[in-house]
Structure 1
């Protein structure tokens, strides 16, 4: 899995939680790093924050899907209007509202992988 979040402390905590849940996790701090990572090695899934400095999660998901069509993407947002974020994704990704429990995150990941 590739985890994308520009908040270093959150990225570190999420990485540890996901590894403890049994996933192999590579993490990057920006959309640009995610694009480079995807070009080198395709993960099974991308989990990304929606609000980052260089890319929105929605824009990033579109770019990543151009590089790797069909790549499962799960976006996390703290945006108050979750439905508008989901509509903007146009069904390109699953969107979960932060804060999200580990159980909900794992359920979202598993739903996309199967």
Structure 2
């Protein structure tokens, strides 16, 4: 399981406390979902240019970048040309790489 990425260390601490309260039944599931949304790093929409710049910033070829993200080289090419857009887990990984570098998922 991938570690959660928080907006700040303070929110990470507060979130751990909320999870403990949820585990013992003091916080309901809906409140926990709303709290997750407030604390976790937001996923950003990325343009084709952003994705290419990110890959180049990390000094990676399309095939190597694809291996880090567990997708095909053709998909990286499609994202960079704008014929497809990353979503779900791939977009989350791209956001983490953008904020923390490729070593964050290596």
**Structures share fold, TM-score greater than 0.5:** no
Q: Could you tell me the TM-score, scaled by structure 2's length?
A: 0.27
Q: Could you tell me the TM-score, scaled by structure 1's length?
A: 0.26
- Structure number with greater Rg is 2
**Larger relative strand fraction:** 1
